[in-house]
Amino acid sequence: MTPAPAAPVLAGAPAARPPAAPPAPGAPRRHPQRRSALPGFGLTLGLTVLWLSLIVLLPLGGLFLKTAELTPERILAILTAPRTLHALQISFGLSLAAAATNLVFGAVIVWALVRYEFPGRRVLDALVDIPFALPTAVAGIALTDLYSTNGWVGRWLEPLGITVAFTPLGIFIALVFIGLPFVVRTVQPVMEDLDRDLEEAAATLGAGRLTTIRRVILPAVVPAFLTGFALAFARAVGEYGSVIFIAGNLPNVSEIAPLLIVIRLEEFRYADATTIACAMLLASFALLFVINALQRWSQHHTGRLG
Amino acid sequence: MSVIAPTEGVPYAVEHFHAATAPPPPLEDIHSEPRLVRAVVIALAILFMGLFILLPLANVFVQAFSKGWAAYGAALVDPDALAAVRLTLLIAAISVATNTVMGLVMAWAITKFEFTGKSLLITLVDLPFSVSPVIAGLVFVLLFGAQGWFGPWLIDHGWKIIFAWPGIALATIFVTFPFVARELIPLMQEQGTQEEEAAVTLGASGWRTFLKVTLPNVKWALLYGVLLCNARAMGEFGAVSVVSGHVRGETNTMPLHIEILYNEYQFQASFAVASLLALLAVVTLLAKTLLEARLGRKGGH
């Protein structure tokens, strides 16, 4: 097999650095042999740090500071209020369910796109990105209209006694919609890079197709699936625009955490809004950490395979 | 597209099996699944995509034209709708321009030099992607709102940020922060510094080197990032909704205008405005597909 099966673009950065000589304790900031002859280091790095701080770090830091002004009892009281707990439960629970659904159907879609030839395959491939590109408000009203009782889909579900619009099921549908491309686009390149020779080898050694899929293909794509799942989950937890139209937004029943933040803000209950926001941010940072670890792990993994 | 990858393997496989003593089994059997399984997988993929992706998209356009062309046109030339379009274009122009310039600056610093904390910096650049849009709006309200840290000072000086266009621009810049930089960083990292170093050694200034060497090398990736940044900037809803104040004809962007119309049961007008954004999404995807072919993204660079 050729040495480098192109690492996923997402995580290309850290691995691309050549292994330097073991650094001396308290190594200098710029390694002598790697010193760049190019100008603009101070200027561009300074601007980068300044811009990043002004737009991202200070505002986010302000949120944490604002919450830190509250007593621990107050924070606990806000977070354990039934309405907050329900909102968090709805957001995290339904996001988990939607990401799991995306995992299953994402697998089917990736398999069809990568392994099979059929009419309309390229169109299907391009359509996967629609949830990325379609503004969330547009997706929100379109889904609501589709699943309302006289909508294209809703009218078929109503006789069956299934109501989607303005129920938690509607939230689930919206979260499945926005999460799908995360799974497909994370797994697809890994699946395309798989070495078919390994499958042939397995087949010639007598493995059935199912065994080959389970023992040869699956181990190679599991890290990508996990990353895609985590990305879809992270996106779903914070999602607002596509959900609020279809959700019904009944407190304790179909009210998502981001909406509760907006409501508290409109009621000028800043403490509540910032505390819930902090809890959600910490959760998504933890997820980000997991995603990064997964990507490093999968890079290591696929690197070993070669 | 995927025709390239599988057929590459076939000649090799055929050779392989001729070399073996056993009669070669039909290629299809070892390479793929039974016909029925294939049909079911393809049908499931098409069904799922049709139901979850294509139907909502088609629904937007059908509802937009449900009362005919005249009603469609009327919804678009409504003064409030026009004001929303103008504001959306202004916000997109501001956020795309700043994020493009700063994306280039950040990518230059990160990829052309070695320094400690580089991977942390890359993670931080991506950070806004993992922040809920609502929280992105909230943080600026905390800073610049009437009850915020700088709010009273700003009010004393007659500056309005929250519930005015500067707040909308800030929130949009936040949510679109990573788009340009994250497309440039992997590519520029891969390209290294040799070409730039050669130019500088030959006496070109840093600025000239950037314009004549770096920029042409990354132009397609840059365009790709700008495209995605623009789509998100025009369509952002959550973050903008928190800071906008929803003043009709003044601080409503297109997505907010869509929301207001929808909540007033003006469904057709709402979908008419939505169809413009849906069209933008479709055009963005078409351009993206073309650019990906140019960037060789799918072939594994």
Contact B132 A141 (CB under 8 A): no
Please give the interface size between A and B, counted as residue pairs whose CB atoms are below 8 Å apart: 332
A161: left (phi over 0), alpha (psi -120 to 50) or beta: left
Cα(B278)–Cα(A42) distance, integer angstroms: 42
Take residue B160 and report the two structure tokens written for it: 């309005």
Interface of A with B in 135-154 (CB under 8 A): 135-143, 145-146, 151-153
Looking at B57-150, which runs of residues are DSSP E strands?
none
A74-113 b/e with 16+ CB inside 10 Å = b? ebeebeeeeebebbbebbbebbbbbbebbbebbbbbbbbb
**With an 8 Å Cβ cutoff, are A285 and B130 in contact?**
yes
CA distance A126 to chain B (A): 7
Q: So what's the pLDDT on residue A306?
A: 34
Task: Name the stretches of chain A with pLDDT < 70.
Answer: 1-36, 301-306
pLDDT, position B104? 97
Q: How far is CA B140 from CA A62, B149, B162, in A?
A: 9, 10, 8
Q: Are A258 and B31 within 8 A, CB to CB?
A: no
d(CA A250, CA A269): 19
Looking at the complex, does the CB of residue A183 fall below 8 Å from at least one CB of chain B? no
Separation in Å, CA B120 to CA A137, B209, B231: 33, 27, 27
Mean pLDDT calculated for residue range B33-42: 90
Greater pLDDT, B27 or B221: B221
- What is the model's pLDDT at position A6? 36
Task: Check: CB of residue B281 under 8 Å from CB of residue A134.
Answer: yes
Helices (H), chain A: 12-16, 41-52, 58-68, 72-80, 82-115, 121-127, 130-133, 136-147, 154-157, 168-193, 196-204, 209-212, 218-238, 241-247, 257-266, 270-305
Count other Cβ atoms within 10 Å, centred on residue A62: 18
Tokens standing for A165? 């619009």
Of B139, B17, B48, the C-alpha closest to A273 is B139
**pLDDT of res. B86:** 96
Q: How far apart are CA A227 and CA A233, in angstroms?
A: 10
From residue A108, alpha-carbon distances to A123, B43, B51 in Å are 16, 10, 15
CB contact under 8 Å between A240 and B238, yes or no, is yes
- Between residues B298 and B261, which one has the greater pLDDT? B261
Q: How confident is the model at residue B31 (pLDDT cuts 50, 70, 90)?
A: low
Do the Cβ atoms of B161 and B154 come closer than 8 Å?
Answer: yes
Of A34-38, B20-24, B114-118, least confident by mean pLDDT is: B20-24
Which residue in B2, B177, B267 is closest to A56 by CB distance? B177
B124-178 per-position pLDDT tens digit: 999 999 899 999 999 999 999 988 889 889 988 988 899 999 999 999 999 999 9
Confidence check on the interface: ipTM exceeds 0.90, yes or no: no
The better pLDDT of the pair B113, A31 is held by B113
Compute the Cα dihedral for A239, B142, A274, A268 and give only its sign: negative
Q: What are A196's two structure tokens?
A: 């078919």
- How close, in Å, is residue A182 to chain B by CA atoms? 13
d(CA A71, CA A3): 56
What lies within 8 Å, CB to CB, of B24 at 6+ separation is B14, B17, B18
Q: What confidence score (pLDDT) does residue B22 get?
A: 52
B176-233 pLDDT per residue, tens: 999 999 999 999 999 999 999 999 999 999 899 999 999 999 999 999 999 999 999 9
Return the pLDDT at A289: 87
Q: Which of A56, A136, A194 to mutate to test the interface with B (most CBs of B within 10 A)?
A: A56
User: Is A30 an interface residue toward B (CB < 8 Å)?
Assistant: yes
pLDDT of residue B13: 44
Residue B77 burial (10 A CB sphere; 0-12, 13-18, 19+): exposed
Res B75 pLDDT > 90: yes
> Do A135 and B234 count as a contact with CB atoms less than 8 A apart?
yes
pTM for this entry: 0.86
Structure confidence at residue A206 (pLDDT): 84
